[in-house]
Structure 1
Amino acid sequence: MERITGNVMAAIAAVLLVVFIGMLVWPMVPAPSAGQLQVHPAAASEQNTARGIVVAVLAQDAGAGEESGGRAYEKVLVRVTTGQRAGQEVIIEEGATAGTLAATPLVRQFRPGDEVYLQWTQGPQGEKVLITDYVRDKPLVIVVMSFVCAVVLIGWRKGLRSLVGTGLSVLVVFLLIVPQIIAGRDPLAVCIVGAIVIATASAYLTFGWNIRAHAASAGIVASLVITDLLASQFVDMTHLLGLGSEETGYLLANFGPGIDFRGLLMGGIIISALGVLVDVCISQTSAVFELASTDPDLSALELFQHGLNIGRDHISASVNTLVLAYAGTALPLFMLFALYEEPLIRRLSREPVSEEIVRSLAGSLGLVLAVPLTTLIAAGAAAWQVQRETGLQAKLLSLLQQRKHWQVGDLAQTLGQSDGPVEAALAELAERGYLKQIPGTCSGDCAHCELRLGCLVSFGGKAWSR
């Protein structure tokens, strides 16, 4: 049984390694030219934009009067700071008179010194310049650095590793997923590949290259496959086209009808659920292995039962987090549809609302199923590891009884192991009382060591006896 389980875990590790290498090589293979998306000519034209800084506010009306209709009005003087027009000063009107802002109380109120983005457009009355947005690079840097500092100060090494994982996730999204979709590849397949890269990297950054990471990665990959099948089935059942968001209109304008919007929707479900899914799978794996370490006598079935009890508590919190995250992003949409005087079932049947329902529930269902699946894989792996370590410890005790003194390298060579597992097994034997530390420090020179008469084995700079 031990040999079979070991072969299975070795096969899983090998498959994960091959898949990971394949995913790194796959983007290098050119996509079929017929599938590549063609940018719409209108979208490909050069945008006449630049950055500027507000020099002065020439006129300002908060919109309280009846003449303004409740809309604010503002006239500002802006100096262009980049591009061919750098150094020029332009007067820009916004609000009730200019008609560039909607009737909303949340109106931009510019102040001298504000950095803004400018855009020149051609209209019936000639060229016109507009303020399209604030320049937010400096505030965003402050926000990001605050997050980074908090994670590092509180999490230390683990926090730093989590930041590496977050950075890798961002790189995968923007350097792998998005370019490959634009290159014409299937959006769902690209998102699955990107999700596997992110998930496996997170597992190995958390645990290192060991049996825990293999088990967590296997659980994550299996859960992603199940979530993909559920998302595909639910999207087909509800006849969703993937056109329920405002962004799809911009994509249609830029790329035309060549994009697979249903594939984008299903791929988005995978990526959206990925963060919580990785968290649950890694937590379950860690919990099961800790149970096995605390009580090595637990069988794989008992580890599964105890781990599942822990996972049930995790499920309720994680599913609630996922549903609320989706509800928060779609809150303006829900408010909009609440205004329609129509039956509730009709509101729910509208594609934008149905998309959010399918998105949240497909991800949540995949998350729920990930708990028993990952717990099962982790329980089998942990039981195998305990059985393997117990066998190694028994062999070590047998060898220690046959000879007066051993060094770790000799033991490892005799057992056909590397030094690391042997030292770990010796440390476990010492913790369990089978070995006792001899006062003093091991010099490593056994021939001239004063402790050699009573020393049975030396490791970790210390000498040990029975």
Structure 2
Amino acid sequence: MLKFKLPQKSDLILIVLLIVISSIIVWLPNGFETQADKNTSRVRALVLETDNSLIVETGIIKTGTQSLKIKILNGKFKGEELTAFNQLVGRMEFDKFFLPKDKTLTVLNLNEDNSQIISATVVDHYRIRLEAFLLALFVIILVAFAGWTGIKAMLSFMFAGIAIWKLLLPGLLKGYAPIPLSLAIVALLTSVIIFLVAGTNKKGVSAFLGAMSGVAVTCIMAILFGTLFNIHGAIKPFSETLLYSGYNYLNLTEIFLAGIFISSSGAVMDIAMDISASQAEVYQANKGISRKELRRSGFEVGKAVVGTMTTTLLLAYSGGFSALLMVFIAQGTPMINILNLNYVSGEILHTLVGSFGLVLVAPFTAIIGSWVFTRRTKNH
């Protein structure tokens, strides 16, 4: 039997408030809902037959049109069979190839009163149910292991996703200053996540202030070295596509720089929480400990945590560029050339500046925590 620690009143207030705010944000229009075509319907469909006669194969590359006979599995037109098309453009990263019995996400183009299907286009393989299963499994394991803390962590996870999808990204698309907007969103998420998990206490205050100090350092260094590196934000995938889609007013470079401290903010929160939690335990065990001793304790924990976290950040960033690096190695490209390429330099900037924040958040949190935990003792 799992034993759940009963929540405190302050925790319940935070949770209710978070659920209410999350619900409001979800239903709040972001200004881009009208971009979707009203005369379309997205459904799940089963591939019955395929016709590949119009596909041209050149080596491993396929181009042309794949014709599919599909059966709609849900929605208003459930049970209907029709022909849909899958356009192959010769780029394996974008193309999909279907076989009989595959399930697809299909877009139905409808007439004016949405009573009849005009045409159908398959978007991709249908993965929503599998994604929902993975999410449910993650929630079950998290709650089973962490109990009430796991529930709070799941709520903070949910809120972070909602805030990014409904506040940060629409705000960037509307042309708001990327760095101030991103800082505000990170501060909001940091406060919600830390106070929800740690509680509205000294441990939470110490972790929040320490985490935000690390984020602030990362932000300043990103702006400074981003300018010195002379890197344009268009190096990120699909960034240039935004300019051609009517958003030529976007400052892609600032969006790229904001992404640096957004990406590292989660790891920064982890370190700040680890140090603050350890100092809270030490202080509870020995409330007569001096500020200097508590600070030293935080430094020792910080050294151990930072030692592994910086490598974690390197592995997280480099993993996404492994194929690119393999191409350079296969071609015998000199290392000096690789390191000077703008998109490689951008990842180096991303990794190193993010790592600075991780290293510095440890002493910042230790110093702040030693002051926060011992302040009442000093006043007496």
**TM-score normalised according to structure 1 size:** 0.64
C-alpha separation in 2, matches of 1:68 and 1:358: 38
Task: Give the aligned partner of residue 134 of structure 1.
Answer: 125
Change (3 A) 1:237 1:295: same
TM superposition shift of 1:184: 2.0
Task: Give the aligned partner of residue 57 of structure 1.
Answer: 49
- Does structure 2 retain, via aligned residues, the 8 Å contact 1:289–1:379? no
Residue aligned with 2:246, SS:
helix
TM superposition shift of 1:370: 0.5
- Does structure 2 retain, via aligned residues, the 8 Å contact 1:54–1:114? yes
Task: Give the aligned partner of residue 111 of structure 1.
Answer: 100
Asked whether 1:333 is paired with 2:311, we answer: no
Change (3 A) 1:251 1:336: farther
| Higher deviation after alignment, 221-230 or 83-92 | 83-92
Number of matched residues?
Answer: 340
Asked whether 1:77 is paired with 2:69, we answer: yes
| Higher deviation after alignment, 282-291 or 340-349 | 340-349
TM superposition shift of 1:179: 2.2
1:269-296 CA distance string (max 9 Å, x none): 1110011100100111111122222233
Q: Which one-letter code corresponds to 2:264 in the other structure?
A: A
1:50-92 CA distance string (max 9 Å, x none): 435234224579x9xx987456796531135689987764445
Match of residue 251, structure 2, among 260, 264, 284: 260
C-alpha separation in 2, matches of 1:44 and 1:163: 30
Change (3 A) 1:47 1:355: farther
C-alpha separation in 2, matches of 1:119 and 1:252: 28
Match of residue 159, structure 2, among 142, 159, 168: 168
Q: Which one-letter code corresponds to 2:236 in the other structure?
A: S
Task: Give the aligned partner of residue 152 of structure 1.
Answer: 143
Change (3 A) 1:340 1:235: farther
Residue aligned with 1:315, SS:
helix
Change (3 A) 1:194 1:53: same
Task: Give the aligned partner of residue 134 of structure 2.
Answer: 143
| Higher deviation after alignment, 49-58 or 149-158 | 49-58
C-alpha separation in 1, matches of 2:326 and 2:209: 41
TM superposition shift of 1:160: 0.8
C-alpha separation in 2, matches of 1:214 and 1:176: 25
Match of residue 225, structure 2, among 212, 217, 234: 234
Change (3 A) 1:328 1:49: farther
Task: Give the aligned partner of residue 5 of structure 2.
Answer: none
- Does structure 2 retain, via aligned residues, the 8 Å contact 1:227–1:362? yes
C-alpha separation in 1, matches of 2:298 and 2:49: 64
Change (3 A) 1:270 1:135: same
Match of residue 264, structure 2, among 273, 277, 281: 273
Match of residue 287, structure 2, among 296, 300, 311: 296
**TM-score normalised according to structure 2 size:** 0.78
Task: Give the aligned partner of residue 382 of structure 1.
Answer: 373
- Does structure 2 retain, via aligned residues, the 8 Å contact 1:215–1:378? yes
C-alpha separation in 1, matches of 2:102 and 2:227: 53
Q: Which one-letter code corresponds to 1:269 in the other structure?
A: I
- Does structure 2 retain, via aligned residues, the 8 Å contact 1:285–1:375? yes
Change (3 A) 1:208 1:52: closer
Change (3 A) 1:76 1:234: same
Task: Give the aligned partner of residue 205 of structure 2.
Answer: 214
1:210-244 CA distance string (max 9 Å, x none): 22222222112222111110111110110111111
1:18-44 CA distance string (max 9 Å, x none): xxxxxx9xxx9xxxxxxxxx99xxx88
- TM-align CA RMSD: 3.5
Asked whether 1:179 is paired with 2:170, we answer: yes
Gaps of 5+ in 2: 1-20, 26-30, 110-117
- Does structure 1 retain, via aligned residues, the 8 Å contact 2:88–2:96? no
- Does structure 2 retain, via aligned residues, the 8 Å contact 1:57–1:74? no
Task: Give the aligned partner of residue 193 of structure 2.
Answer: 202
TM superposition shift of 1:249: 2.3
TM superposition shift of 1:135: 2.2
Among all aligned residue pairs of Structure 1 and Structure 2, give the percentage whose two residues are the same amino acid: 20
Change (3 A) 1:158 1:360: same
Asked whether 1:348 is paired with 2:333, we answer: no
Match of residue 248, structure 1, among 226, 239, 248: 239
Change (3 A) 1:48 1:201: closer
C-alpha separation in 2, matches of 1:99 and 1:214: 54
Change (3 A) 1:210 1:178: same
Gaps of 5+ in 1: 1-23, 29-37, 121-126, 392-466
TM superposition shift of 1:329: 2.1
Change (3 A) 1:171 1:387: same
| Higher deviation after alignment, 188-197 or 211-220 | 211-220
C-alpha separation in 2, matches of 1:374 and 1:154: 27
C-alpha separation in 2, matches of 1:77 and 1:116: 14
C-alpha separation in 2, matches of 1:277 and 1:47: 45
TM superposition shift of 1:357: 0.9
C-alpha separation in 2, matches of 1:340 and 1:259: 35
